[in-house]
Amino acid sequence: MGLSYVDDIPGGVLGLGGGALFAVLVVVAVLANGTPAQRAEFNKRVEEAVGALVAGVGRYVSGRELSGVPRSEATWWRAGAPLPDDEKTETPVDRLGVAAPVSLGKVSRGRGRRVVCVLTAPVRLLGSSLVGVWRVLRVWHRWPLAARALVRLVLFPLVWGWLRFPAETELALGAAAGAVVVAAVTSPAGFGWWKVSPAWTYGQVYGPGLWVAIRQILRVEESERRARWLSVPDDIDAADARIVLRLPASWVGAPGDVAAVERVVAERVPGQWESRWERTGAEHYAVWKPKPVPKPRPVLPDYVPWKSTGDPRSVFVGLAIEGDQVVDAVVQTKTATPHWGVAGDTGSGKSTVLYIPVVHGRQHGELIDVLDTKRNSLAAAEGFSGVRIHKTVRECISAFAEFLVSMTAAEAAAEKGADPALGRLLVPRTLVIDELPTLIKYAYTWWRYGLKGKGTPPFLDWLAIILLQGRSSNHRVVVGTQQFANAYFGGTMERAQIGTRIAVGQQDRVSWGVAFGQSTPLLGYDTAIPGRGAFSDKRKAPEADYLYVRELQPSYITPQVAELLAQCPQAPGWFDRGEMAPWITEEILTEVNAVAATAHFLPGGLFGPEATPSGVASAPHRGAVGGSPSSQHATAPRATGDATGGATAPAATPSSPAAPEESLPDTYSLAEAHARGILPWKAATVRTYFKRGAARGITPPDGITDGQTSFYSEEELTTWLTEWRRWQEQNPASGAKKQPAPAQPEEAAKQ
C-alpha cells in the first residue's frame, strides 16, 4: 500500500529495474570498447558528474546557492547583506550617493485622497500583500541558510502530501498562504503608510567590503569563509567594539602589507581605530579598538596677568599648554643652564617679555643692566632704582665689560679665604640684552669704523665667558634676539647655556629649527594673538627624541611695570650713582684686563663713556691692555700710559671719553650694496671678484660681520671698485680672457 504510487508507473517495479539494468549495460559497453585513455577520461567525467551531483544535493539541502557563487554573506541562522560587486543588488550608477529620504511619520494626505484610499482598500490590500511577498522573495539570497534549507526540503513532504492527502494538503497550503498574506499586510510597509530604512548591522554593511580587500592582502583563497578570518561588530559605536582579523601563519606581513591592512580598515570602516598586532603567540591576529574620545584641547587666554612666584630663581612668564592642561610656564634659573632668551621678529613682542626679568629681578633685590640700542624698547623701566638702561653703543659695551669684571670679582669674593667684607657686598645681577644681533652689528661697526680697530674685537668672547661662568656668581643673562643662531652667542657651546628659549610671533622653519632643533615639529599657534608663541626648557617631549615645545601666552606686564618697580626695595647707592660694583678690586681689574681687554671700555676708560647712565662718573681704572685668545691680533688706538703703567685718556680726541658718540657710517651687505647701486654686480659675482682681486694685489675690504653676514661701508666698496676697474683698464687683454666685461651701473638692474 505504501508503494502503490510506484505501481502507477508504467512497468511498475520491473520497469524501474529494467531501466537501471539498461543503464548499467551501456556503461559496461563503453568501458569495454574504449581505449585506456578514453576509459580514464570517462571515469573522470563520471567522478566529476557524481561530485557535482553530490555537491548540488549538499548545497540544496544546506540552503546555499546551487550555482556555488554566493550573492550574500548569509549564515545558517542569520540573514546577510549583499556581497560587494553583486550586479543584481547594486544601486544604479546614476543613483550612487543620492540619499533616499527616511521618514518615520505617517504620510500626510488630503481628505479626497483619504476617501479614495478607503474605497480602494480591498484592492490595495491585495496588491500590498503581493508586493510584500515579492519583496521577501526578491531577497532570497539574503535569507538565513536554515530558512532556505527549510523551504527547499519542505517541497518533498508537500509533494508526498499532495499525492497521499490532497485535500488536507490543499487546506494546509491555504492556511500557510493566508499566514503569509497576514504577515505581509501587518508589516511596517504593508499598506505603504510607513517608510523605513533597512535595519542592517554594521557587520553586515562593512564586513563584506572589508573582507574582499583584506583577503587579497593576506593571500587567502576566495573559498575561505569570512566568519573564520574576520569579525566586524554589529555596533561599531559600542565601547567594547572590536574588529578582529586572524592572520595566516604563512603570511610574512611586510611593513607595506601591514600598512595596507591598516589603510583598508581606516578607509572602509567609519570612526577612528587603534590597532594591536599579535604575531608572537600560538595564534596570529590583529585587533582594532575605537580610539578613546580625545579630551578637548585646552585653549590659552589672549591675556595673562603677571604674578610673582616668591622664588628669586623661578620666573613666571605666562601660561603654556602641556598635554590637555594649561599650566604655569616658569623659567628655572637655578639649573645648569641659568640664562634664558626670547626670539622673534621686530614687533612680535620680545621687548614686552623682557620686562618680566626686570620686574622679577628687582622684586628679589637683583640689580638690572639693560642694553637697549633701540633706545626706547624698555622705556617703562627707565628711571627706577636698581635699573640702569644703556642706550648708546659706547654705553652698552662699557656695561658689558663692567658686568664681566663684576662676575669675575664676585667669583673671587666667594672663594675660600677671600675677604669676608667683600662677600657681604655681593648682590645678584642680571644683564638684559634687547636685540642682540643689532647690538653686535653696532659694536662691530663702532670697532671697525669708529675706533679704527683691526682684527676681531673681544665683545663676543665676553658674552661667551659670562654665559659659561655666570651662574656660580649669580650673574645671569636674558637675551632678546631675532634668532638663536650660534654666531650671536660665540659658538654652539655658549648658545647651549640659553636653557629656556621662548619664540614669539611668526616663526619661519629655519628660525624654528635653530631654536628648538630641526626634528622638532612646528606648533600651529595663532600668530594673530599678540605675544602668542612657544616655550621650551630643555625637557624632552614625551615618547619622542626632540625638545618638548609648548604653546605659550606670555604675561602682559607692560602696564604694571612702573607700579611694580616703584614698590621694589631700594637698590644700593653705588649702583644708582652709576659706580662699578664695590667688590671689584684693582687686582681683579688687572687680571680680567690681561685676558679679556676690558680696561679701555670701562666707564672713564679710553673707549668707555664718561659715566654710566646715572650721570656720576667713575674714576679711571688702572691696568694694562691685553687681548682675549680670539683677539690676539686685534689692535685699536691706545691711550698713553703713565709711569705706573696705568691707562690715561688724552684730553679731547675723537675717541676720548669726553667726545660725543661717534657718527658711524651706514654699512651694507653685498646684496644691499647691489640693490642701492653701490656695486654693479650681484653678491655672488662680487665675492668672486674679491678672490680674483686678492690674487692680483687688490685687497678686498675688511668690513664687519655679525657671524653670518659681512657688512661694508660705502667708502670701502667704492675704493675697492675703483682699484678693480683701474686694474682692468691697465690689463685689458688679461681681463678680457679671464672675466666678462664689468656691467655699467645702468646695466646692474638688468642682472
Please tell me which residue, 608 or 633, carries the higher pLDDT value.
Answer: 608
Assign 618 a pLDDT band (cuts: 50, 70, 90).
very low
The grid cell for 11 is: 512497468
Mean pLDDT of 723-734: 81
pLDDT at 245: 92
Neighbours of 196 (CB within 10 A): 11
List the grid coordinates of 231.
Answer: 569579525
The per-residue pLDDT for range 479-531, each reduced to its tens digit, is 999 889 888 888 888 888 998 999 999 888 888 998 998 889 988 889 889 99
Q: Which of 398, 421, 408 is nearest to 588 (CA)?
A: 408
CA distance 300 to 530: 12
115 by DSSP, 3-state: which? helix
Mean local confidence (pLDDT), 639-668: 46
Considering only CA atoms, which of 508, 507, 549, 553 is closest in space to residue 530? 553
SS3 290: strand
Mean pLDDT of the chain: 79
What mean pLDDT comes out for the span 586-602?
A: 91
Question: Percent of the chain scored above 90 by pLDDT?
Answer: 29
Please, which pLDDT band fits residue 188 given cuts at 50, 70 and 90? Answer: low
Confidence band, pLDDT 50/70/90 cuts, at residue 30: low
What's the CA gap between 322 and 452, in Å, rounded?
52
Q: Does domain 314-601 have CATH number 3.40.50.2000?
A: no
Find the helix or strand (DSSP H, E) in which 217 lies.
helix 202-218
Give the least confident one: 212-221, 552-561, 735-744.
Answer: 735-744
In the structure, what pLDDT confidence band is assigned to residue 13 with cuts at 50, 70 and 90? very low
Proportion of the chain above pLDDT 70, given as a percent = 76
Mean pLDDT, residues 119-126 taken together: 70
Residue-level pLDDT at 454: 81
For 405-459, what is each residue's pLDDT tens digit?
A: 999 999 999 888 888 999 899 999 999 999 898 888 888 888 888 888 887 888 9
Residue whose C-alpha cell is 642706550? 391
Q: Say yes or no to pLDDT of 10 above 60.
A: no
Tell me the mean pLDDT in the region 373-384: 88
Tens digit of each residue's pLDDT (9 = 90 or more) over 245-274: 999 888 998 999 999 999 999 999 998 899
What's residue 101's pLDDT? 45
Class at the top of the CATH hierarchy for domain 667-748: mainly alpha
Q: Are 407 and 475 in contact (CB under 8 A)?
A: yes
Give dist(CA 234, CA 207) in Å, integer. 10
Q: What is the pLDDT of residues 314-347, one digit of tens each?
A: 999 999 999 889 999 999 999 888 999 999 988 8
